[in-house]
């Protein structure tokens, strides 16, 4: 059973461009979470999604950031008009339904560098 997949692993963007980060959860997992790890800071929650629904977006910046988890395909974290402060590692996690739903399994992350 493949783990959580994220791509790209590394992404370089110039200021003002758009960044699209993709996350495919583990097979059978229906919950997806996005976290951000800024340099010298800890991991911070951004958003929690289930298929076609945003459940909790309390950690998302109010502007430029959006997330989706469509019925088919991976979850996408989209950052419009990137700025240098968006440079960070972005991690996706997934959890299964049912008994083990309290446990989140993490992907390898996408490291975004904004020039």
Partner 1 sequence: AQSVTQLGSHVSVSEGALVLLRCNYSSSVPPYLFWYVQYPNQGLQLLLKYTTGATLVKGINGFEAEFKKSETSFHLTKPSAHMSDAAEYFCAVIKAAGNKLTFGGGTRVLVKP
Residues that bind partner 1 (CB under 8 A): 4, 6, 31, 33, 35, 42-45, 48, 55-56, 58-59, 91, 93, 95, 101-109, 111
Strands (DSSP E) contained in the chain are 5-7, 10-13, 19-24, 31-37, 43-50, 53-56, 65-68, 75-79, 88-95, 105-106, 110-114
CB of 79 to partner 1, least distance (A): 19
Cβ proximity of 82 and 26 under 8 Å: no
CB of 4 to partner 1, least distance (A): 8
CB of 16 to partner 1, least distance (A): 27
CB nearer to partner 1: pick between 19 and 92: 92
Q: Give first-to-last CA distance, the chain, whole Å.
A: 37
CB nearer to partner 1: pick between 5 and 17: 5
């Amino acid at each position: 059973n493949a783990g959580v997949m994220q791509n790209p692993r590394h992404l370089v963007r110039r200021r003002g461009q758009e960044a699209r980060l993709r996350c495919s959860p583990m097979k059978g997992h229906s919950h997806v979470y996005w976290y951000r790890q800024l340099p010298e800071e800890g991991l911070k929650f951004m958003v929690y999604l289930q298929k076609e629904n945003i459940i909790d977006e309390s950690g998302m910046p109010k502007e430029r950031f959006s997330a989706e988890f469509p019925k088919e395909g991976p979850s996408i974290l989209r950052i419009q008009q990137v700025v240098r402060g968006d440079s960070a590692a972005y991690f996706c996690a997934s959890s299964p339904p049912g008994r083990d739903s309290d446990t989140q399994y993490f992907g390898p992350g996408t490291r975004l560098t904004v020039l």
